[in-house]
Chains A and B, each alone.
Chain A
Amino acid sequence: AQSVTQLGSHVSVSEGALVLLRCNYSSSVPPYLFWYVQYPNQGLQLLLKYTTGATLVKGINGFEAEFKKSETSFHLTKPSAHMSDAAEYFCAVTSYNNNDMRFGAGTRLTVKP
């Protein structure tokens, strides 16, 4: 079975600081990995995804994530936080031809002025 662990249910950074949201996965087959963002009172939207190919994936709003097989990680980063980045972020894992996407518990990002 596949699973995702997000370290830190709540991360707080200052505006302009580096954002690092951690995600580790467990999968017995090559994983497909996703980051979704949920703004207050809105549905989830895709930030970025990794399926195959380049392990450094760039997404919307300046976010990127790197797939590291040796560390079973897919951490999300952004060089400089903006107030508008305040939201809940979910990491998810699935695999080829797999109907079942597993989500982490989420990390709430707060950005301080």
Chain B
Amino acid sequence: GAGVSQSPSNKVTEKGKDVELRCDPISGHTALYWYRQSLGQGLEFLIYFQGNSAPDKSGLPSDRFSAERTGGSVSTLTIQRTQQEDSAVYLCASSSLLAGVGDTQYFGPGTRLTVL
């Protein structure tokens, strides 16, 4: 498909377990973002990847959260030792980010994480 895809669409896990969320950006997009959307709240920036540069991790809420992007394409967001407050929808977005202009971000459908 032409859009951003995320998997799984839904994930239910038990407190203390690790989870991995996957994002496939639009082909050719060099910038990739992860956000968290909690109930009744806006989007919380988590992490940003741009090309081969070091990622901007300033939004990660704790050291239990990490992300990687392999080959400049697919990204995985890992949450270790999940807590109930981690329950949210995790959104991935990509953009072409040409010349640093505020390019449009294209969002995936999200992964709904529920921690029991």
Contacts and interface: CB of A to CB of B under 8 A. Distances in A.
Contacts of A94: 102
B107 A43 contact: yes
Interface residues of A, number: 29
Interface in A44-78: 44-46, 49, 51
B72 interface: no
A100 B104 contact: no
B4 interface: yes
B102 A32 contact: yes
A43 B106 CA distance: 9
Contacts of B40: 9, 105
Contact of B102 (A4, A36, A51): A51
B108 interface: yes
B41 interface: yes
B2 interface: no
Contacts of B110: 43
A14 to B, nearest CB: 25
A43 B102 contact: no
A35 to B, nearest CB: 11
Contacts of B106: 46
Interface in A74-113: 90, 92, 94-106
14 contacts: A43-B110, A44-B93, A46-B104, A90-B42, A95-B102, A96-B102, A99-B31, A99-B56, A100-B56, A101-B33, A102-B45, A105-B40, A105-B41, A106-B41
Q: Top 6 closest A-B pairs, CB basis?
A: A97-B100, A32-B102, A103-B43, A105-B42, A43-B107, A44-B107
